[in-house]
Amino acid sequence: MIKRLARNRNLSDGELKTLIETGDYDAEMFKAADSVRRSVYGADVYIRGLIEFTNYCKNDCYYCGIRHGNTNAKRYRLDLGQIFSCAEQGYELGFRTFVLQGGEDPYYTDDMICEIVSGIKRRHGDCAVTLSIGERSEKSFRAYWASGADRYLLRHETSDGAHYRMLHPDSMSLENRKACLWNLKKIGYQVGSGFMVDSPYQTTENIIADLRFLQELQPSMIGIGPYITHADTPFRNFPSGSAEKCIRLVAILRLMFPYALIPATTALGTIAPDGRERGLSAGANVVMPNLSPTSVRKYYLLYDNKICTGDEAAECRNCLDVRVRLAGYKVVIGRGDAKTYEHGDVAV
């Protein structure tokens, strides 16, 4: 079954269900995923400098610690100077992709976002800029693109309408989220999507639907991480997700999407101390350490017990270098764009 998954980049729903729910194929599957990742990306691991520039958010997603309704969250915004200095520091540390991530915060107008993007591109012409600022209009997406943005991360969270409504208030819709993703693709962005593993009410069928949606979207980046409970949300009594299942899904994704950029996420490193390393061994090829100033890091908490909130950017950079090396891979300095078919086909 694993050989067939590697060859066809696909399986039936029933077969996927078996892979997701049982650990029976894990060893074989992780090995196959690693060999596919090595045939496309070698041992290279791409790093992205994450700048969490605002934790204000107008939305109220039930799972998220920076939801509007969480009055316990201490809010902050970085000004343009602070953002540029994060990027500068990141550049010195070898980052060539900056991810600007924030809650949905209308304080930052389109003009401001454009100024941030073009400011970074002007200062660091050899870098890629990724935006991760939620749902915006097609017109806004076009303006950011015109100012130099290269990539956009917007997880679809769940591709099942009923499940989506269990995770979000009525003001949000799966239709709009999907429309955003298609707009971003149409404009020319390298698009990233993804979902949480073990989010409340999630079924295996939901996950299979997520995989099917990704097959349709064909994103350049796919980010997944375990759901982790935040005590100040309506989901405070739901358990956090499983590292094992998340890693298993990383491997499935690598086999279904040989060319995708798949991060070993901070959430995976939070739920298990060796989560990111295990993610890398199962097919992940990206890590996204934090570049935000240490003074605000502890406030960008989507979930409890987030790692690295006390560490300086340089500490995370060194730590990751060691971790990646010990896991059998190497951090490379470069934009780390997705490879495509032209770079050579996958050997299976």
The DSSP secondary structure of 136-154, one letter per residue, reads --HHHHHHHHHTT--EEE-
Query: Mutual orientation of helices 243-256 and 13-21 as an angle, nearest 10°?
Result: 140
How many binding residues for ligand FES (CB under 6 A)?
A: 7
- 145 binding ligand 5AD? (CB under 6 A): no
Q: List the one residue from 41, 46, 63, 141 that touches ligand 5AD (CB under 6 A).
A: 63
Q: List the one residue from 44, 157, 160, 198 that touches ligand 5AD (CB under 6 A).
A: 157
For the chain, the C-alpha Rg in angstroms (whole number) is: 19
- 178 binding ligand 5AD? (CB under 6 A): no
Rounded distance between C-alpha atoms, residue 48 and residue 316, angstroms: 12
State the DSSP code for 298.
T
Report yes or no: 227 and 240 within 8 Å, Cβ to Cβ: yes
- 127 binding ligand FES? (CB under 6 A): no
Pick the stretch among 72-80, 120-128, 158-166, 220-228 that binds ligand 5AD (CB under 6 A): 220-228
Q: List the one residue from 319, 332, 346, 348 that touches ligand FES (CB under 6 A).
A: 319
Q: List the one residue from 224, 320, 324, 338 that touches ligand FES (CB under 6 A).
A: 320
**Phi, then psi, of 65 in degrees rounded to 5:** -70, -25
Q: List the one residue from 50, 207, 228, 286 that touches ligand 5AD (CB under 6 A).
A: 228
Residue 67 identity (one-letter amino acid):
R
Report yes or no: 41 and 52 within 8 Å, Cβ to Cβ: no
Q: Which does 29 bind (CB under 5 to 8 A by kind): ligand FES, ligand 5AD, none?
A: none
Q: List the one residue from 48, 96, 121, 155 that touches ligand 5AD (CB under 6 A).
A: 155
Q: Which does 64 bind (CB under 5 to 8 A by kind): ligand 5AD, ligand FES, none?
A: ligand 5AD
- 289 binding ligand FES? (CB under 6 A): yes
Q: Is 42 left (phi over 0), alpha (psi -120 to 50) or beta?
A: left
Q: Within its chain, how far is the Cα of 121 from the centroid?
A: 22
Number of Cβ atoms within 10 Å of the Cβ of 304: 15
**Shortest distance, position 323 Cβ to ligand FES, whole Å:** 7
Q: Which two tokens stand for residue 67?
A: 């939801």
- 308 binding ligand FES? (CB under 6 A): yes
* Contacts with ligand FES, residue ranges (CB under 6 A): 289, 308, 311, 315-316, 319-320
- In the complex, the residues that contact ligand 5AD under the rule CB under 6 A are 63-64, 155, 157, 196, 225, 227-228, 230, 267, 302-303
